[in-house]
Structure 1
Amino acid sequence: MSNVVIGIALALLSSVAYASAAVVQERLAELPVSGLAKNPRWWIATALNGVAAILHLAALRAGPLSLIQALGVLTLPMAVPMAAATWRRRVSLLEWKGIVFTLAGLVGLVLLIGSAGTGGVLTMTQLVVLLVVTGGVLVALEGLSRMPRASLLWSAAAAGVAFGTSSAVSQTITVRLTDAGLSAVLTPLVLIAGAAVAVLTVAGLLLTQRSYRDGLGAPLAVSTIANPIAAAFIGILLLGDQITGGYPGTALALACAAGAALGVTLLAASPHDGGHPAVSVSASAPD
């Protein structure tokens, strides 16, 4: 029981760190990519994301996957009020409704797809195919976000796919290192997987940064949904995972996804989402 308590505590701290990073990133949403490296706040956000990832991994070592993953979605209800506070406004009723629907759908999805993992690993062929397909999906989603009158939620979806794929590839690295020890570090599979995780993580951070230009709530909800869904697809198609509960579980997962989608719609429709004060981010950020 003590290990579970430790896992819960670490998962909560991870959610706080992720939420804090999201709030900092939103403040820099209007900066060009070339200007991010020059801004100390970007490095603070990057450090917070790194700490959050380490805490999440530590939580998974101490507690059951289904519970820890479910607690991870608390990033959304934490980040939206924190962002509202930084802009000195109240969270609207519509936003709270969106948070509730999104959170309920996410918890259901995580419990259904997060507890059925088999701990499988990708083969070299599977890894290469996965990275090629993921690259194509990311390019397509980002392309959609740049079309006239398109929504930056496509960038948020791309960020979620990048992070979800990174998590799935990270599992292969972890299992290989656990089975073979440090000698596995220099194997081609682990080297390529490690490089892929680094690239996907950076891509996810930049795509997330771009998606926050229209506000925090809806993009964060979309990326949070896309992350476990992408990981679940990879697990089911390549690693032998199954959705808990068979066909009834699949039907329930679809219902949860619909609930989460409704929540995102409410967040996107909120008059406050994307309604930042008329203050230049670049002017307010330190040089």
Structure 2
Amino acid sequence: MWLGIVFALLSCAAYTAAAVAQRRLAVAVRAPLTDRHRVAELLWHPLWWVSLVFNGGRAGFQVGAVSFAPLTVIQPLGVLVLVFGIPWSARLDGRRVTREEWRGAAFTMVALGVLLAVTVTNGGGGTMDTADSLLVGAGTTAALAVTAWIAGRLPSASWRSYLLSGAAGVAFGVSSATVKTAVAVIAATGAAGLVHPAALATPVIAVFGLFLAQAAYQGMELGAPLGITTFTNPVAASVVGVAFMGESYTGGWAGAAVAVVCAVLAGYGIRLLTVPRDGESAAAVSPLP
């Protein structure tokens, strides 16, 4: 159990480092990533590859964490990325964390922690079959593409960030379900499992999620997009688990009521994380030299 918790903390630290790197990259590449030339600029920037390395480490540590401890212990620890990330990002920006940001982080972390603690599945499910894997993989990819298209046409940087970070969380949550299926299929069938829909969909959805998360930081501070991604990730994974992997929701009506309250509190907390500093927008942060 304690080894699983250690791996979970390392996963949070790696995820935080990746998010901070992506936030710094968003400052360096200021324009929205709907322009193809901006995406090319992104891929040439060292911070993009730094974030990929840390995201890879996060995934590896997360696998180790769930191997030694149950999800009901590991998932609530994910809120620590806000504890690590917000002051870290503020420090790199040469400023102090504002009172609104601390309040927003507190509301969001408490809401997420309670949500993950009381709205759980029984964990007794298995994996997706071929048809379900194809449906989930293709459906998620299409939904993410449509979301990115819509977000690129929103005039508000804040709402664009909300939409993109929510989509990124969905991508990460769904990819955790597809990778579980892919690993099981490959272990059972060998190399033939590499062409299973879940195995093919996992890298597409995961990479899509990385680009969406990166785009969500454009013109925004770290807290709000990171909070939304952290919120939607486990929710998406739970929905896929219940709908396609044979898990059952154990929260009941009481858990559903708590989930609604937590969603409202998390939304309020995320709203506080978007309050401009000293009347200035988050986009006013000076770019890196």
1:160 maps to 169
2:35 maps to none
Give yes or no for contact 1:23–1:83 (8 Å, CA) kept in 2: yes
Give yes or no for contact 1:70–1:110 (8 Å, CA) kept in 2: yes
> Shift of residue 107 of structure 1?
1.3
> Shift of residue 5 of structure 1?
1.1
1:65 maps to 71
What pairs up with 1:235-274 in 2 under 5 angstroms? Answer: 235-271=241-277
Could you give the per-residue CA deviations for residues 114-134 of structure 1, whole angstroms, max 9, x where no partner exists?
452223211111111112221
Give yes or no for contact 1:121–1:171 (8 Å, CA) kept in 2: yes
Instruction: Evaluate the alpha carbon distance shift between residue 235 and residue 113 of structure 1 in structure 2; reply closer, same or farther with a 3 A threshold.
Output: farther
Percentage identity across paired residues of the two chains: 35
> Shift of residue 177 of structure 1?
4.6
Select the residue among 20, 23, 26 that pairs with 2:23: 26
> Shift of residue 33 of structure 1?
1.4
Alignment partners' CA distance in 2, 1:77 and 1:71: 11
The SS at the match of 1:37 is helix
What TM-score do the two structures reach when normalised by structure 1?
Answer: 0.89
> Shift of residue 52 of structure 1?
1.0
Give yes or no for contact 1:92–1:270 (8 Å, CA) kept in 2: no
Could you give the per-residue CA deviations for residues 62-85 of structure 1, whole angstroms, max 9, x where no partner exists?
112111111122112211110000
Select the residue among 121, 135, 141 that pairs with 2:141: 135
2:197 maps to 192
What TM-score do the two structures reach when normalised by structure 2?
Answer: 0.88
Instruction: Evaluate the alpha carbon distance shift between residue 175 and residue 246 of structure 1 in structure 2; reply closer, same or farther with a 3 A threshold.
Output: farther
List alignment gaps of at least 5 residues for structure 1: none
1:146 maps to 152
1:219 maps to 225
Instruction: Evaluate the alpha carbon distance shift between residue 262 and residue 71 of structure 1 in structure 2; reply closer, same or farther with a 3 A threshold.
Output: same
Alignment partners' CA distance in 2, 1:101 and 1:247: 23
The SS at the match of 1:22 is helix
Give yes or no for contact 2:186–2:192 (8 Å, CA) kept in 1: no
> Shift of residue 113 of structure 1?
4.0
> Shift of residue 274 of structure 1?
5.4
Amino acid at match of 1:156: S
List alignment gaps of at least 5 residues for structure 2: 30-37
Deviates more, 1:113-122 or 1:248-257: 113-122
Give yes or no for contact 1:21–1:48 (8 Å, CA) kept in 2: yes
> Shift of residue 191 of structure 1?
3.5
Could you give the per-residue CA deviations for residues 45-103 of structure 1, whole angstroms, max 9, x where no partner exists?
11011001100110111112111111122112211110000001111111111111111
Amino acid at match of 2:212: L
Amino acid at match of 1:248: A
1:206 maps to 211
> Shift of residue 270 of structure 1?
4.3
Give yes or no for contact 1:243–1:250 (8 Å, CA) kept in 2: no
**Is 1:110 aligned to 2:116, yes or no?**
yes
Give yes or no for contact 2:82–2:109 (8 Å, CA) kept in 1: yes
Instruction: Evaluate the alpha carbon distance shift between residue 158 and residue 245 of structure 1 in structure 2; reply closer, same or farther with a 3 A threshold.
Output: closer
1:35 maps to 41
Amino acid at match of 1:262: Y
RMSD value, Cα: 2.0
Give yes or no for contact 2:182–2:198 (8 Å, CA) kept in 1: yes
Instruction: Evaluate the alpha carbon distance shift between residue 177 and residue 148 of structure 1 in structure 2; reply closer, same or farther with a 3 A threshold.
Output: closer
Instruction: Evaluate the alpha carbon distance shift between residue 270 and residue 110 of structure 1 in structure 2; reply closer, same or farther with a 3 A threshold.
Output: farther
**Is 1:173 aligned to 2:202, yes or no?**
no
Deviates more, 1:264-273 or 1:231-240: 264-273
What pairs up with 1:75-94 in 2 under 5 angstroms? Answer: 75-94=81-100
> Shift of residue 222 of structure 1?
0.8
